[in-house]
Chain A
């Protein structure tokens, strides 16, 4: 590498004699200072005082202007030197930059690529975690802030990043198995509930049909009762024809009219002979039999439909028959 040698000026220190062109004015400053001491303008009419002040001021100004000129003159070389140094240094820096800049660009490109890859990897990882999380939560797993749980299956949130694909797949299959068990139980419960609802509905329909049937039966029984009332009304004239002691009605079936008359005839007497008593007894046997026959006929004329009614009626008729057989009047 060649190095251009600059012609450097001789090193000079800021010695007092180098600044003589300026410091020489200090003598003048002393003189003008002395001139200015005590100067006053008494009043607006003090023309002499004003003239003296003005003259000394103008000298001071002139001196200042001279100092400025000397200053500019003394610095001219230094300024030119500074400009030369800056110019040369700039040239050299540019040449260095021609080397450095591409290298810097390469470094920056490298860093940018590293950053891009890092961001890409982070994005891929985040997507993987999100997808894995979505798979587990889609199976109705519950999350307590650290762990996802479904039945016996568990996985921690940190596992979404740590586990390999195969390990995660094993976990997913575990969760799917637990999910299937729960789903099967839920479907079975729904099926049972539906069956129960169907049964209740069928029972309701059956109850409605039974209610209607009973209602129809009740109406039929009511019709039968009315028919029975009519039959009873027909039977009542037969019963009402049974003779009381005061009523005589010709009735071919019973001998009651005769019985009554004969009873009254017989009872009118002061006493009864054996023959009369025998006759009376015969008549009373006939009357008693007649009464018994009517009782049996009326009892048989009633009908019952229910099992309890039929049973009660049969027992009553049986008891009645026994009673009549036991108690009935018999000829000696």
Chain B
């Protein structure tokens, strides 16, 4: 039987798009205080790692 891969590929692209959008959001915020910067960086790192685990590559 022919196996169609479209749904899987499409949802993988979706995940990648989601990760990219979240990273873009985090990129648009900056913080002054060290605590805020540290937490901001923690979120950004997590988003980066999620992107990497989802796509197998680091976001550009």
Name A residues whose Cβ lies closer than 8 Å to a Cβ of B: 207, 210-211, 214-215, 217-218, 221-222, 225, 228, 232, 239, 242-245, 263, 266-267, 277, 280-281, 284, 287-288, 291-292, 294-295, 298-299, 302, 304-306, 308-309, 312-313, 316, 319-320, 323-324, 327-329
Binary contact readout B16-58 vs A (1 if CB under 8 angstroms, 0 otherwise): 0110011011101111110110011011001000100010000
Q: For the complex, give the distance between the alpha carbons of A266 and B40 in Å.
A: 20
Q: Give the nearest-CB partner of A256 in chain B.
A: B29
Q: For the complex, give the distance between the alpha carbons of A210 and B2 in Å.
A: 9
Please determine whether B43 and A298 come into contact, CB atoms closer than 8 angstroms: no
Contacts A210-B1, A239-B25, A329-B35; A305 near B11 (Cβ below 8 A): yes
CB of A229, distance to nearest CB on chain B (Å): 9
Contacts A214-B4, A284-B36, A316-B50; A302 near B43 (Cβ below 8 A): no
Which residues from B are CB-within-8-Å of A217?
4, 7
Q: Which of B11, B31, B50 contacts A309 (CB under 8 A)?
A: B11
> What is the predominant secondary structure among interface residues of chain A facing chain B?
helix
Please determine whether B42 and A298 come into contact, CB atoms closer than 8 angstroms: no
Which residues from A are CB-within-8-Å of B13?
225
Interface contacts beyond A295-B25, A320-B46, A327-B42: sample of 11 additional A-B pairs, CB < 8 Å, sorted by A: A214-B2, A217-B7, A221-B6, A225-B13, A232-B21, A242-B28, A287-B36, A288-B31, A291-B40, A306-B8, A323-B42
Which residues from B are CB-within-8-Å of A308?
8, 11
Contacts A288-B31, A295-B25, A302-B18; A323 near B43 (Cβ below 8 A): yes
Please determine whether A329 and B32 come into contact, CB atoms closer than 8 angstroms: no
Which residues from A are CB-within-8-Å of B29?
242, 287-288, 291
Q: For the complex, give the distance between the alpha carbons of A225 and B35 in Å.
A: 39
Please determine whether A242 and B25 come into contact, CB atoms closer than 8 angstroms: yes
Please determine whether B1 and A305 come into contact, CB atoms closer than 8 angstroms: no
Contacts A222-B6, A304-B11; A287 near B31 (Cβ below 8 A): yes
Please determine whether B46 and A323 come into contact, CB atoms closer than 8 angstroms: yes
Q: For the complex, give the distance between the alpha carbons of A211 and B18 in Å.
A: 30
Name B residues whose Cβ lies closer than 8 Å to a Cβ of A: 1-2, 4, 6-8, 10-11, 13-15, 17-18, 21-22, 24-26, 28-33, 35-36, 39-40, 42-43, 46, 50, 54
Which residues from A are CB-within-8-Å of B31?
284, 287-288
Contacts A295-B25, A298-B21, A299-B18; A288 near B36 (Cβ below 8 A): yes
Please determine whether B26 and A291 come into contact, CB atoms closer than 8 angstroms: yes
Which residues from B are CB-within-8-Å of A298?
18, 21-22, 25
Please determine whether B25 and A228 come into contact, CB atoms closer than 8 angstroms: no
Which residues from A are CB-within-8-Å of B36?
281, 284, 287-288, 329
Contacts A232-B17, A305-B7; A295 near B2 (Cβ below 8 A): no
Please determine whether B21 and A215 come into contact, CB atoms closer than 8 angstroms: no
Which residues from A are CB-within-8-Å of B22?
295, 298-299
Q: For the complex, give the distance between the alpha carbons of A137 and B2 in Å.
A: 53
CB of B44, distance to nearest CB on chain A (Å): 10
Cβ contacts A to B, 10 pairs, < 8 Å: A225-B10, A232-B17, A232-B21, A239-B21, A245-B30, A281-B35, A288-B39, A288-B40, A323-B42, A323-B46
Please determine whether A221 and B35 come into contact, CB atoms closer than 8 angstroms: no
Q: Give the nearest-CB partner of B28 in chain A.
A: A242
CB of B13, distance to nearest CB on chain A (Å): 8
